[in-house]
Each structure stands twice: as C-alpha cells, then as structure tokens.
Amino acid sequence: MAEAHQSGELKGIDMPVTPSENEEEYFARQELERRRRIAEEGKAARLEEESERLRLLHYMRCPKCGTELQEVPFGDVLVDKCFGCEGLWLDHGEVEKLEMKEAGFATKLLNAFKR
Ligand SMILES: [Zn+2]
C-alpha cells in the first residue's frame, strides 16, 4: 500500500511530510499564535500601565523643573503657573483662546504674571 506523502517546505528544502507531521506543525503554529497573542496583550497592558504611571507622576508638574503647577485664572484662560522657575503653561486649546482675544490681551496677561 502506497503511503500518501505531501511535500512541505522547511527552510527552502523540500521534504516528504506525512499527514501527522502536518498536524503537529498545525498545532505548534496554533500554540505559538496563542502565546504570541498573550505576549502582545501583556505588552499592551504594560505600556498602558507605564503611561498611567507617568501621567500620575507628572500630572500638574512643571515640565522644566518639576515643581507643582498652580492654576491661576486670567479671564477665561486658566494659566498653569510654576513658582519654581516662573514658567507659564497653557493647556491644549488655550493658545487658540488667546489667539481669539483682542490685540494686547497677551501683553496684559504677561504684565499680570511677571514678578
Ligand atoms: Zn518650573
């Protein structure tokens, strides 16, 4: 009785492969895929944890000197003021708010905040 052989490639070499070897390869590939998926999920979770850790560590801290920022309202703009290095910081969208103000608003703001 002639045994059925299939041709499979391994590193470019043609080798006769029996159906049971194909099965072994199939299950090994499935297992590798499953473990790769778990590893990738773990990696994504670690990145998310690291991002959250950094957010908590740096939240409302001056990006230049690390001093805690104080929110000081000026009109409808909330300026994040650093009393460590005298820096002024604006949240996303606040520069655009300033841009909409009348001419001279930025000068008024700077005069109010300078020492
Ligand atoms: Zn600072």
Q: Give the confidence band of 97 by pLDDT, cuts at 50, 70, 90.
A: confident
Gap from CA of 68 to ligand 1 centroid (Å) = 8
Name the residue among 108, 74, 102, 101 with its Cα closest to residue 89: 74
**88 alpha carbon – ligand 1 mean position (Å):** 8
112 CA to middle of ligand 1, Å?
Answer: 18
Q: Give distance in angstroms: CA of 3 to centre of ligand 1.
A: 78
Q: What is the pTM of this model?
A: 0.61
Phi, psi at 35, each rounded to 5°: -70, -35
Q: How far is the CA of 64 from the centre of ligand 1 (A)?
A: 5
- Greater model confidence, 10 or 30: 30
Centre of ligand 1 from the C-alpha of residue 14, in Å: 66
112 token code pair: 């109010």
Average pLDDT on 29-34 reads 97
End-to-end CA, the chain: 98
